[in-house]
Homo-oligomer: A and B are copies of this chain.
């Protein structure tokens, strides 16, 4: 009854819990392949993992909790992906640009995952999610503050500026894929323009 292709070998004695990770990974593959959360059924996930449906109940109380686990894992991965390219970059403007690029890049590489993280009807109550969002945002505020945005007619306010920047980033991540017939400019150009307007950072395509 499991997937014909998989030919999964049963986990050895102590290693049962390993299936949990395989289930989450399978669910994430289905999510990205189909693009929609409701394709991630318990049965489809079991098939993808090469296991029968009831086997999932050894690791999750039900489908709801399985999907919550997917969200938690994905959010952690997202935050890591946005942070990773900052390693070793010192100059604030370059840090900001690198982080924003990574944000957009992740969203376009994993559109369905991004959507489940940031556009869901039922927001996840997972502490992981709230924590990760706060962490990500604090990074943004700090970097922006280091950039020392100077606007003549404007009192510096990194907190509010960071929020507006995040809002625009989300727009850039989410809107073009949802309205592909609209004549969007190049993503890179849009990001440059956005950073210029919102963080006073000159375009720099060197990175």
Contacts and interface: CB of A to CB of B under 8 A. Distances in A.
Given A152-B152, A154-B196, A194-B164, A178 B118 contact: yes
B161 A166 contact: no
Interface string A103-122: 00000000110010011111
A125 B179 CA distance: 9
A180 interface: yes
Nearest to A112: B121
A166 B157 CA distance: 22
Nearest to A125: B181
A179 B134 CA distance: 11
A120 B119 CA distance: 10
Given A154-B196, A197-B198, A185 B163 contact: yes
Contact of A123 (B157, B166, B181, B198): B181
A145 interface: no
A60 interface: no
Given A133-B179, A171-B169, A181-B130, A35 B122 contact: yes
Contacts of A164: 168, 190, 193-194, 197-198
A121 B32 CA distance: 11
Interface of A: 35-36, 38, 111-112, 115, 118-123, 125, 130, 133-134, 137, 152, 154, 157, 160-161, 163-164, 166-172, 174-175, 177-182, 184-185, 189-190, 193-194, 196-198
15 contacts: A112-B121, A119-B119, A119-B174, A123-B181, A133-B181, A134-B182, A157-B193, A160-B190, A164-B168, A164-B193, A167-B167, A167-B175, A170-B175, A171-B171, A198-B198
